[in-house]
Structure 1
Amino acid sequence: MKIGEASRVSGVSARSLRHYEDEGLIVPGRFGNGFRDYCQSTVDRVLVIRSLLESGLPVRLIREFLPSLTDEAGVGTEVVCAEFLHEVQSHRDRLAARIAILSDQQAALDTYLREARRTDL
């Protein structure tokens, strides 16, 4: 299917599809005239990519582990999946730490605003 149809089927913009290709996340086929040709397995891969990106995972991590997540199961798949889950957990832990810092900063600002309003009265 051409890029417009792949975009419609996947719910991902044509621009994003081109970006995924530029990042090495997908490799669509090509028609004789050079137009991209997306097969169903590429569209399925796009859906996985979109889900992982929406989860906040960096492209670097997705690029590294995507083949093991979308290709046929093979030797060492369990090890790769365990490593991927470890990376996801680490990313989640860093995110939780940043959220905690932001929550503390928000609380400090709330306190400051309460105090500032009291002195204005």
Structure 2
Amino acid sequence: MRIGELGRATGATPRALRHYERAGLIASRRAANGYRVYDEGTVTRVRNIRHLLAAGLTLDDVRVFLPCLDGDMTAGPASARALGVARERLAVIDERIAAQLAVRERLAAALREAGAVRGGGGGGGGGG
């Protein structure tokens, strides 16, 4: 399948697919006309890459999961290294959330001091 077909099957842009290839996460061969050609198994691999990226992992993190990208990543036991990467990434996400909550609280406090927030709801949606 060509890059456009792979993109449609996975939701990835051709640019992202070329990036994954440069990063060594997927492989292609070249047709006589120079177009990249991917095998059908690449669809699963790209979908798994995208799931990991959407979960907050980096391309370097995804490399740790290479042995299990071609199938159901939840089917077998995770390697200690993969679990370590996932835990590290979760810690980074938790730190970012804590930092954002601190910023939010400072903003809410400033608004309260200015008399702009009534009843502690904070306004701006999400208050219920």
The aligned residue for residue 58 of structure 2 is: 58
Describe the SS at the equivalent of 1:117. Answer: coil
The aligned residue for residue 105 of structure 1 is: 103
CA shift, 1:8, in A, is 1.3
Q: Find the aligned partners of 1:42 and 1:94 in 2 and give their Cα distance.
A: 29
- Paired letter, 2:82: F
- 1:15-54 alpha-carbon deviations (Å, 9 max, x no partner): 2111211222111122122211111111211111111111
The aligned residue for residue 84 of structure 1 is: 82
**Runs (5+) with no aligned partner, structure 2:** 117-128
**Runs (5+) with no aligned partner, structure 1:** none
Runs (4 or more) in structure 1 with deviation over 6 Å come to none
Identity %: 38
Please report the TM-score for the alignment, with normalisation by the length of structure 2: 0.77
Alpha carbons 1:3, 1:37 under 8 Å: kept: yes
Structure with greater proportional helix content? 1
**Structure 1 pair 45/71, CA: closer, same or farther in 2 (3 Å)?**
closer
The aligned residue for residue 24 of structure 2 is: 24
For residues 36-75 of structure 1, the aligned pairs below 5 Å read 36-63=36-63, 65-70=64-69
Please report the TM-score for the alignment, with normalisation by the length of structure 1: 0.81
Please provide the CA RMSD for this pair.
Answer: 2.0
Alpha carbons 1:2, 1:36 under 8 Å: kept: yes
- Paired letter, 1:43: V
- Matched residue pairs, number? 112
CA shift, 1:71, in A, is 5.3
